[in-house]
Amino acid sequence: MSALTRRGFLEKLGAGSVAASLPLLLPSVHAATAPYNGPKLNVALCGLGNYARMLAEGLQASQYCRLAGVVTGHADKAAAWQQQYQLPPQNIYNYNNFDGIAHNPNIDVVYIVLPNFLHKPFTIRAAQAGKHVITEKPMATTAADCEAMIAACNKAGVQLAVGYRMHFEPTQQEIMRLGQQKAFGPVRYLEAGLGYKTYNLADANDMVDINDDTQWRLHKTKAGGGPLMDLGVYCVQAARYVLGEEPVAVTAQFGPVHHAQRFTQVEESITWQMQFPGGAAANCTSSYGFNIDKLYASADDGYFELSPALSHGPFTGKTSAGILNIPPINQQASQLDAMAQYIINKQPMPAHINGSEGLRDIRIIEAIYKAAQTGGVVKLV
């Protein structure tokens, strides 16, 4: 949605007095309305699982980049993708010959959509091959890995971005603005929850082999953690981008647990609290055991809420001034277009989407796990 259309929409909502400017954290790319006819960035998707499909659709819709290659361990997937997207054979890699991408001038960016533990090695390999990197969330399984990824990209002189699609989604941009610009006064309390029930409790045979590659999310060393890493990162992000502040202390509790046989390595559910320097508190939850997708912010002079809030949308909600129902967009195309423009224009990736942002989230997540394990308050300073 263009800035102008969005403003008109907000004025209709009755929130016009606070709708005049774009959210604080966001780049100005969405104000551009003229179609782009310049050269497109060539992107190779690394890992061809579920989310890579959505990114491929985003790349089809993108103005600034295109799907130019793939990296996959499966020859059958390589053949299918090559045919579907008309990819030249020299742009198809596997995990062994991937480093040869260094000699391929027709790939500019490697977009890593692998299980979390592979974000670090493939970011480092892509950077060493001289390619810009976008890696999926969570950035890595540890803060130390995030630091190594940032260092490798800096050393190679390539850009590093994390796939934070919400930063380019108009409903999320609107709640950033409502919170950060204190449209209803300062936010005092915030709730955020994202959970997907990933099994059927009634099914006695619902056992999984965590060494099965398709179950990497249940494997501690592969996922880095459970729903907190996978889904809770959206709650951490939402609290931070609504408040525009960094948490200073966290407390946390594991549970509820209904399927202990399945969750032997990672938590089934977790709830945590974050304290912010301005005095706001956030209570968040994420789970693989129950469904939840909501956000609520209570401010001095009103409130705003979304549900669906933090999944893939479409996002809808209301504020104390009226409904919040901004038309959905292709989130992947919007994110890719924004990130591609920084690379094309040789501008540094801004802090709210680069490696430093991914590192911030992982540090907070590590603190949340420590708080849940110790039962104490963990300070973040």
Tell me the catalytic residues. 137, 234
Exposed, middle or buried, 108 (CB in 10 Å: 0-12/13-18/19+)? buried
- How far is residue 129 from each of residues 69, 145, 149, 150, 163, measured CA to CA in Å? 15, 19, 14, 15, 20
Residue 286 · residue 269 · CB < 8 Å: yes
- Under the binding rule (CB under 6 A), the answer on residue 115 touching ligand NAD is yes
Candidate list 8, 16, 49, 121; residue touching ligand NAD; CB under 6 A: 49
Residue 207 · residue 262 · CB < 8 Å: yes
- Under the binding rule (CB under 6 A), the answer on residue 300 touching ligand NAD is no
- Under the binding rule (CB under 6 A), the answer on residue 47 touching ligand NAD is yes
Nearer to ligand NAD, 113 or 309 (CB): 113
- Under the binding rule (CB under 6 A), the answer on residue 137 touching ligand NAD is yes
Residue 6 CB, shortest distance to ligand NAD, in Å, is 22
Return the structure tokens found at 223: 């996922």
Residue 179 CB, shortest distance to ligand NAD, in Å, is 22
For tokens 């179950």, name the residue: 215
Candidate list 213, 255, 257, 373; residue touching ligand NAD; CB under 6 A: 213
Q: Interaction with ligand NAD in 327-346: which residues (CB under 6 A)?
A: none
Candidate list 23, 58, 163, 195; residue touching ligand NAD; CB under 6 A: 163
Residue 278 CB, shortest distance to ligand NAD, in Å, is 29
- Under the binding rule (CB under 6 A), the answer on residue 261 touching ligand NAD is no
316: alpha, beta or left? (left if phi > 0; alpha if psi -120 to 50)? beta
Closest CA to 106 of 119, 92, 124, 122: 92
Return the range that interacts with ligand NAD (CB under 6 A); candidates 13-21, 50-58, 151-159, 296-304.
Answer: 50-58
Residue 128 CB, shortest distance to ligand NAD, in Å, is 19
DSSP letters spanning 37-93: -SPPEEEEEE--SHHHHHHHHHHHH-SSEEEEEEE-S-HHHHHHHHHHHT--GGGEE
**C-alpha span between 156 and 159 (Å, rounded):** 9
Nearer to ligand NAD, 86 or 214 (CB): 214
Residue 349 · residue 339 · CB < 8 Å: yes
Which residue type sits at 304?
A: F
Return the range that interacts with ligand NAD (CB under 6 A); candidates 8-16, 29-37, 115-123, 191-199.
Answer: 115-123
Q: Interaction with ligand NAD in 51-70: which residues (CB under 6 A)?
A: 51-52
- Under the binding rule (CB under 6 A), the answer on residue 355 touching ligand NAD is no
- Under the binding rule (CB under 6 A), the answer on residue 263 touching ligand NAD is no
| DSSP letter assigned to residue 116 | G
- Under the binding rule (CB under 6 A), the answer on residue 113 touching ligand NAD is yes
245: alpha, beta or left? (left if phi > 0; alpha if psi -120 to 50)? beta
Return the range that interacts with ligand NAD (CB under 6 A); candidates 107-115, 144-152, 153-161, 268-276.
Answer: 107-115
Candidate list 25, 41, 48, 161; residue touching ligand NAD; CB under 6 A: 48
Closest CA to 309 of 191, 198, 230, 229: 191
- Number of residues forming the site for ligand NAD (CB under 6 A): 20
**C-alpha span between 366 and 328 (Å, rounded):** 33
Return the range that interacts with ligand NAD (CB under 6 A); candidates 208-216, 256-264, 286-294, 348-356.
Answer: 208-216
Nearer to ligand NAD, 118 or 126 (CB): 118
Question: H-type helices in the chain, by residue range?
Answer: 3-13, 50-61, 75-85, 119-128, 143-156, 170-180, 220-223, 227, 233-243, 331-344, 355-374
For tokens 């423009």, name the residue: 341
- Under the binding rule (CB under 6 A), the answer on residue 212 touching ligand NAD is no
- Under the binding rule (CB under 6 A), the answer on residue 247 touching ligand NAD is no
Nearer to ligand NAD, 115 or 308 (CB): 115
- Under the binding rule (CB under 6 A), the answer on residue 196 touching ligand NAD is no
Which 3 state secondary structure label does DSSP give 217? helix
Closest CA to 193 of 321, 289, 83: 289
Nearer to ligand NAD, 91 or 198 (CB): 198
Q: Which residues bind ligand NAD (CB under 6 A)?
A: 47-52, 73, 113-116, 118, 136-137, 163, 165, 213-214, 216, 230
